[in-house]
Structure 1
């Protein structure tokens, strides 16, 4: 069986942050910059607290069947919740969505490369 790669995005909004928590997040903002966001197995957190209180975790996971994406989404949501709770950050409106990269449409360059490799 082939391995499928899943990209999971968990979004939410910080809620009820104290002054110390807000300062802590602002101090670490550079390493959580949206422009450096990446999908990783351990999850990458990005936010711009100065602009708005929203955050996004990006996770990379794998499975063998199409249905495995549901478990991957649950794991990602649990990991994001655990990270936030361990630091005492309040949050609300947590939602997660996943994408099976084997089902993602190919880009123009990818289609061209495939066509060039299969032409006799």
Structure 2
């Protein structure tokens, strides 16, 4: 059985931030810029609090079976909630999407390489 790779995105909106919390997020904004976005096992947070109160966590996970994506998504949501909760950041409208890369459509270069290799 092969290992599957999942990409999980958890989105939400900061809610009820104090002036101090907002200032802390602004101070750390460069570390959470979208240009640093990556899917990682521990999760990568991006936001632009100066523009809007939305945030995105990106997680990478693995599993043996297609159904493992559900558990990985739940774990990603819990990790995001824990990170926000530890810092006292309120949030709302939390929602997640997940993609099993084994089922992702091939891009143009990947299709070309597959044809060249006789697949």
Structure 2, unmatched stretches of 5+, are: none
How far apart are the structure 2 equivalents of 1:34 and 1:57? 11
The aligned residue for residue 6 of structure 2 is 6
List structure 1 segments (4+ residues) > 4 angstroms apart after TM superposition.
Answer: none
The aligned residue for residue 83 of structure 2 is 83
The aligned residue for residue 24 of structure 2 is 24
How far apart are the structure 1 equivalents of 2:17 and 2:70? 31
Q: Give the TM-score of the pair, scaled to structure 1.
A: 0.97
Q: Mapping of 1:25-104 within 5 angstroms?
A: 25-104=25-104
Q: Give the TM-score of the pair, scaled to structure 2.
A: 0.98
Give 1:97 shift: 1.1
Give 1:118 shift: 1.4
- SS at 2:117 equivalent: helix
* Alignment coverage as a number of residue pairs: 119
How far apart are the structure 2 equivalents of 1:49 and 1:19? 12
How far apart are the structure 2 equivalents of 1:116 and 1:97? 33
